[in-house]
A = this chain, B = another copy of it.
Amino acid sequence: MRFHSIVHSAVAIALAATFSLALAADGPPVTPAQVVDRAPASHWRAIAPDDLLVMDLGGGRRVVIQIAPTLSPAHVANMRVLARAHWWDGTSINRVQDNYVVQWGDATEEKPMPPGMAPTGEGDYVQPMGLVRARITALPYADSYAPKAGFVDGWPVAADEDHVWLPHCYGFVGVGRNMSPDAGTGAELYAVIGQAPRQLDRNIAVVGRVIAGIEHLSSLPRGSGPLGFYKNDEKRVAILSVRLASELPDGERPRFEAMDTGSASFADYLRLRANRKDDFYIRPAGGVDLCNAPVPVRPTPQDVMPRTR
């Protein structure tokens, strides 16, 4: 079998770690997978239940989205209002464009907003650098889309001298909008399912990332209409419910944790993502793209939830 041929996803990483540990001695980790596998509990941070959106599509298909209140406060506040109002229940996935996005929301575009929604503007696409400056772990490689890039509070970020923003990486969730200056409400959402469309950074609000169940979105049939919208209404995928994990009974809450991006484990992980050298990799790149060093996220070990994958 060609199992080792190409190792990447969280699942693969877990396996590779097992393989490697079986093979290798107890020296320092030589693969990102080994770093993740060996990171002590103190190098992980629990994700708050109020920062998890649980979207059920039926047939056991559950998508879990982590939202980012610090880096996208205005749109995330609206999304919590929408979730608590159960506004997304009965809406649908309406667009699947290959190597781009899966988009969902109210296909009729006539469903009224719940009370408590706040206005948004283009100023909400970025946040003041002062909010996070002291906690940023820099990416020590050039970024094609921003003067600076790095990681903070478990998230990848792009930045300039004065501002910081979330990048459009694979699995990241953004807010659909109409032509500028519309900035979207947070009701119409999309997830990236291809090469990071970073040209959208600072042009649209990024509000979070899919941390479980992305395959239930990325493997959907592509739409045949303009920009991948489904022409045929029957093709739309019904959204049964969207809830904040904090709204769910304790026993039904998914629990996840992200690696502390300020930890020594993350520094090792980032170094090894940029310098692959093991039984398979013969030529380290000496660099890594911001979107190609995904922050390790996992169900908390004591998690009692059935896992999505």
Contacts and interface: CB of A to CB of B under 8 A. Distances in A.
Contact of A178 (B5, B109, B179, B193): B5
A73 interface: no
B144 A199 contact: no
A236 to B, nearest CB: 14
Contact of A281 (B9, B96, B99, B199): B199
A226 B292 contact: no
B178 A227 contact: no
A215 B222 contact: yes
B203 A283 contact: yes
Contact of A100 (B9, B220, B288): B9
B178 A4 contact: yes
- Chain B CB within 10 A, most for which of A2, A177, A193: A2
Interface stretch (A111-119, A245-253, A272-280): A272-280
B2 A280 contact: no
B292 A8 contact: no
Contacts of A171: 99
Contacts of A12: 97, 100, 226-228
B285 A226 contact: no
Contact of A179 (B125, B176, B280): B280
Given A176-B2, A227-B12, A98 B215 contact: yes
Nearest to A281: B203
Interface majority SS on A: helix, strand, loop or mixed? loop
Contacts of A6: 97, 100-101, 103, 176, 190, 197, 200, 204, 227
A282 interface: yes
Contacts of A291: 195
A51 interface: no
A37 interface: no
Nearest to A6: B101
Interface in A162-200: 169-171, 176-181, 188, 190, 193-200
Contacts of A103: 2, 5-6
Contact of A142 (B142, B177, B273): B142
Interface of A: 1-9, 11-12, 15, 96-101, 103, 109, 122, 125, 141-146, 169-171, 176-181, 188, 190, 193-204, 214-215, 218-222, 226-229, 273, 276, 279-283, 285-289, 291-292
30 contacts: A2-B177, A3-B227, A4-B178, A5-B103, A5-B176, A5-B204, A6-B100, A6-B176, A6-B190, A6-B200, A7-B227, A8-B100, A9-B228, A12-B97, A12-B228, A15-B227, A98-B214, A99-B214, A99-B218, A125-B283, A142-B142, A144-B287, A144-B289, A145-B285, A145-B286, A179-B279, A180-B281, A199-B276, A202-B282, A203-B281
8 nearest CB pairs, A to B: A142-B142, A144-B287, A202-B283, A215-B222, A8-B100, A170-B195, A145-B285, A98-B215
